[in-house]
Chains A and B, each alone.
Chain A
Amino acid sequence: MKQADVVIVGAGAVGSALARELSKYRLKVIVVEKNEDLGGDSSKSNSAIIHTGYDAKPGTLESQLVVAANPMYDQITKDLDVPFSRIGALLPAFTDEQYAQLPALKHKAMLNRVYDIEYKTGEELLKMEPNLNPEVKGGLYIPRESIIDPFLLCIGLAENAADNGVEFLLGTKCTGIKVEEGRVTTVNTTAGDIATKYVINAAGLYCDEVAGYVGKNDYYVTPRKGQFYILDKNTSCKVGMIILPIPTKVTKGKLMCPTIHGNMLVGPTAEDLLDKADKSTNVEGLESIAADVRKMIPGVNLRDTITQYAGLRAQRNPEGLNIDVYDDLKGYVNLSGVRSTGLTASVSIAKYVVDLMIEGGLHAEFKTDFNPIRHGTPRFAELSAEERAALVAKDPRYGNIVCRCETVTEGQICDAIHRTLGARSVDGVKRRLRAGMGRCQGGFCGPRVIEILARELGISPEEVRKNDPGSEMLVGEAR
């Protein structure tokens, strides 16, 4: 039987951040993830924003953790080589009713200790974002709202954790937690049992099911679907900042912002569902995005869309971010209500939880050899001519461009496959390197990526998957 000090269930942003935080200590940590790749369910498809927490409910744990997390990102993204940019957000008011809400929104930010929020006049806003609806009356500017590559954040955290000794069991589902005499002793998984003293439930969308294993499911999780459009980098109407709508009582509304890679992101919807696997898009949702966002940015050209996707936020019922430890169940930490702000809060949640565990008696000694630095796969598209030439001279495979839309080379694909917790699937390559994420959506590179994956993994092409088992790209050889 495998032995661990701590088992983390889930390798989304929170699970990966926890893994990295725990890898700073002399502990045997195992992460169990049901999916074949990192990034969980919610962490890999969302609006990719690192929030300031200006609009959190003041006084809540969520407010505390989101507000605290934002300043951590400059260093973390530098250490982990994750694309990140502090582009700032605007909250423009177009109607008198919206304008009247601005003082309350600003006051809320003050209560959340986000003090760098500023009023701007309509004129100032139009100067900052010329594509705003010219009827803009004024609004708020939130300078530290930022954008990130959410998948690379998860990868960076997990990879660095693994390099510092954490073991990841991917494609492995947690099927039960054994409790003896009021203490966690064993985690059951589809890859066998793991003896452990601690288990952290970071299962996100499925955290209620995992909590059910130990009878701590005094809540349930429903998926809240968010549909998005991604627009071509060359779309005619772009914005430079995150353009947020003034929230209504019902919803935070739909935004438009650049992605860290220069596309435009428009969305999301907020649809409460029951099926945790339903990531389908639908016409109604996509049309509602168009209608809403046009009120803020009338020129937005959704015909320039290159893809649409849906993500699921984990909506806790009753609501609220909860981090629970129990007197009658030693060694079990339950995280629930990690929703759309979870990507941002992952790194502060990790700190908070580890502190809670140490306070609660986890024996954890600091490592002296923790290495916080991760060197990612070179991002060829962002390199200068000299850097490119040098890379090709070192490894000719960097001279072979496989994805022409995003300028991704064979060298990068091989690196992404062979590095720690490397890519195992077409989506794995795509999320790590953006091969297939451009305007041709893999039309050109798709067949080539399948070939490279098969060759590098030593498998036959028909074993190459899009992502999880059952998502094989091909059905066999033609001959």
Chain B
Amino acid sequence: MTTEKKIICIICPQGCNITVKGDAEKGIIESVEGFTCKRGKAYAENEFTHPLRILTSSVKTEGSSFPLVPVRTRTAIPKELLFEGMEEIRKITVKGKVSCGDVIVANFLGTGVDLIASGDVEAK
């Protein structure tokens, strides 16, 4: 079924109003209007068929200079997995030194995307 969706682009602060037409379930896009850059067009297409978000949070540490170390999914994961992702993140404890970019969980939730550290903590 062809539908039309108005999407506000979140790629940059400009917040363009983009209209996408197509069949979301079948992944068919008929037209995209209102974007001002390529990234915006790609975002709107994705948002129409399969919205993705980067999940950021923090995990507990043990024997580290801070009680938490921030983490993120390296790239965006399906939006509907955010809360499931948080459940997983709550179970994790890392130890000692963690460096920005370290893989905390590979293939997070089977998405093919790694959960990585997005900050540093030193060993205490």
Decide if A and B are genuine partners: yes
Number of B residues contacting the other chain (C-beta, 8 Å)?
6
Interface membership of chain B positions 54-72, coded 1 if the CB is closer than 8 angstroms to chain A and 0 otherwise: 0000111000000110000
Q: Which residues of B contact A479 (CB under 8 A)?
A: 58-60, 67-68, 90
Q: How large is the interface on A (under 10, 10 to 19, 20 to 34, 35 or more residues)?
A: under 10
Interface residues of B in 24-45 (CB under 8 A from A): none
Closest CB in chain B relative to A253 CB, distance in Å: 51
Closest CB in chain B relative to A406 CB, distance in Å: 27
A187 to B59, CA, bound (A): 52
A478 close to B (CB within 8 Å): yes
Q: Which residues of B contact A478 (CB under 8 A)?
A: 58, 68
Q: Which residues of A contact B68 (CB under 8 A)?
A: 478-479
Interface residues of B in 79-121 (CB under 8 A from A): 90
A333 to B25, CA, bound (A): 83
Chain B contact residues, majority secondary structure: strand
A479 to B58, CA, bound (A): 9
Closest CB in chain B relative to A57 CB, distance in Å: 60
Closest CB in chain B relative to A454 CB, distance in Å: 12
Interface membership of chain A positions 442-479, coded 1 if the CB is closer than 8 angstroms to chain B and 0 otherwise: 00000000000000000000000000000000000011
Binding site for B on A (CB under 8 A): 478-479
Q: What 6 pairs between A and B have smallest CB-CB spacing?
A: A479-B60, A479-B90, A479-B68, A479-B59, A478-B68, A479-B58
A367 to B90, CA, bound (A): 62
A/B interface sample: 8 pairs, CB < 8 A: A478-B58, A478-B68, A479-B58, A479-B59, A479-B60, A479-B67, A479-B68, A479-B90
Could you list 5 further interchain pairs (A-B, Cβ under 8 angstroms) beyond the known A478-B68, A479-B67, A479-B68?
A: A478-B58, A479-B58, A479-B59, A479-B60, A479-B90
A478 to B90, CA, bound (A): 9
Of chain A, the residue at the smallest CB distance from B93 is A479
Closest CB in chain B relative to A462 CB, distance in Å: 13
A478 to B71, CA, bound (A): 14
A479 to B60, CA, bound (A): 6
A479 to B70, CA, bound (A): 12
